[in-house]
Amino acid sequence: MSTYSDPPSRSFQLSMLLNDTRYRSYTFQFIALLLLVLAMAYLGMNLVQNLAAAGLNISYQFLGEPAGYDINQTLIPYTSQSSHWQASMVGVLNTLLVALLGCIMATIIGVIVGVLRLSNNWLVRQLMSIYVEIFRNVPVLIWILIIMAVFVAVLPQPRDFRGDTPEASMVLDAFAFTGRGFYAPAPVFGPGSGLVIAVFLASIAGIFALRNYAKKALYDRGELIPTFLPSLGLFFIPAILAYFILGRPIGLEYPELRGFNFQGGIFMRNSLIALWFALSIYTAAFIAENVRAGILAVSKGQTEAAASLGLRPNRIMNLVVLPQALRVIIPPLISQYLNLTKNSSLAIAVGYMDLTGTLGGITLNQTGRAIECVVLLMVFYLTISLLISAFMNVYNNAVKLKER
């Protein structure tokens, strides 16, 4: 009676790295990695030798020297006597500010336009199509310049708000829209304001918890729990009560016309607004197509089945269509966020001092340290792009369909 068994195991031999299919792929990958490392080392040594021959050396000591130039829009204290490093940090924060605001606004507009492109109303559908085609097919730099030119030409100057019969007036006596920029009330925080903010943040967390509980109740028990009015109450009532109980610790500083310009309040330069608005509406056109494609990727039978159960159209969209469409929407949405962040480097065209304008512009020209400045720029944009990708990939894994 014959028996079958595995062939006897052989001891490892070097020839198996090429002849054995279990090790061959690892061998080729290691060789490719080694060649890449050697090539990078050769290029690095060649760069160092050429710089030494030209009498140049890589040094970042210039970052500690006084910058010697002013920046028109800052989020942290800065003067012309601050260091180049502080100027770079101002540029980093300005870049992150416009990128964050742009991503939020572009997402809101893109989702709305993407849904309306599938509207049953012919006029609405065509208007959204025109918007998408116009903004997608014109370079974003053109839109930045157009919006900036409109702001400068159309909006009044601060002098137009002066006099007994001014040509322009503030909106609600609190907001001023001028050709130099936008002015809005600024919050003034007093003792106890931190507790009010904490209550407000706790209310936001409570809204998310309520919505998650309502969704779980709907999926598990079929119980429909209203969330709109409770969420509205959680958003306003606890913070308002804390505000008055603690003696109104948060006030407002309103902008006032003093001399040749407005003083006080929050000031946003027209360059920031133009860049933010242009990047948002440009990127939103691409996001709208991603949203439309994701919705169309959901089988029409899903919508018909939900409608046959008596669900209203808005609940069909929120509970059936969008959760399934997200797996198609999120991956290209990551690319649009990355594009918006990198397109913010066009800010110098309208005089907004982002990182490209500070470190990659004035600092580079003053110090002559082109290699060092460009390397820092590359490291920043690479880091922020990887962080955006990592965060969105985590979100993508959280919302993707769970299979049994």
Report the alpha-carbon distance of residue 309 to residue 75 in Å, rounded.
Answer: 52
| CA distance linking residue 329 with residue 295, whole number of Å | 9
Which pLDDT value is given to residue 199?
Answer: 87
What is the pLDDT averaged over residues 14-43? 81
Q: How far apart are CA 176 and CA 157, in angstroms?
A: 10
Q: Which residues contact 239 (CB under 8 A, 6 or more apart)?
A: 196, 199, 200, 203
The whole-number pLDDT of residue 44 equals: 83
pLDDT tens, residue by residue, 353-397 = 888 888 888 888 888 888 888 888 888 989 988 998 888 888 878
**Pair 24, 18: CB distance under 8 Å:** yes
* 234 vs 36, residue with greater confidence: 36
Q: Which two tokens stand for residue 285?
A: 């056109």
pLDDT reported for residue 270 = 85
Short-list 65, 308, 86, 268, CA closest to 179: 268
Q: Tell me the mean pLDDT in the region 256-271.
A: 80
Q: What is the 3-state secondary structure (H, E, C) of the chain?
A: CCCCCCCCCCCCCCCHHHHCHHHHHHHHHHHHHHHHHHHHHHHHHHHHHHHHHCCCCCCCHHHHCECCCCCCCCCCCCCCCCEHHHHHHHHHHHHHHHHHHHHHHHHHHHHHHHHHCCCCCHHHHHHHHHHHHHHHCCCHHHHHHHHHHHHHHHCCCHHHHCCCCCCCCCECCCEEECCCEEEECEEEECCCHHHHHHHHHHHHHHHHHHHHHHHHHHHHHCCCCCCHHHHHHHHHHHHHHHHHHCCCCEEEECCEEECCEEECCEEEEHHHHHHHHHHHHHHHHHHHHHHHHHHHCCCHHHHHHHHHCCCCHHHHHHHHHHHHHHHHHHHHHHHHHHHHHHHHHHHHHHCCCCHHHHHHHHHHHHHCCHHHHHHHHHHHHHHHHHHHHHHHHHHHHHHCCCCC
Report pLDDT for 14. 67
- Round to whole Å and give the CA distance between 288 and 332: 11
Measured distance CA(164)–CA(271) in Å, rounded: 30
Paired strand residues for 187: 252
pLDDT level of residue 284 (50, 70, 90 thresholds): very high
φ, ψ of residue 356 in degrees (nearest 5): -65, -35
Residue 279's pLDDT is what? 92
Q: Percent of the chain beyond pLDDT 90?
A: 10
Q: For residue 402, what pLDDT band results from cuts at 50, 70 and 90?
A: low
Q: pTM above 0.85?
A: no
Max Cα-Cα span within the chain: 115
Q: State the average pLDDT for the chain.
A: 83
Planar angle of CA 23, 25, 27, nearest 5 degrees: 70
pLDDT tens by residue, 230-258: 888 888 888 888 888 888 888 888 888 77
Taking residues 80-94, report their average pLDDT: 88
CB 123 within 8 A of CB 279: no
Inter-residue contact 20 to 27 (CB < 8 Å): no
Q: CA 27, CA 226: separation in Å to the nearest integer?
A: 60
pLDDT tens column, 136-169: 888 888 998 888 888 888 888 877 777 777 777 7
pLDDT of residue 362: 86
∠ CA 203-320-206, nearest 5°, is 10
C-alpha to C-alpha distances, 372 to 52, 231, 368, 369, nearest whole angstrom:
15, 51, 9, 6
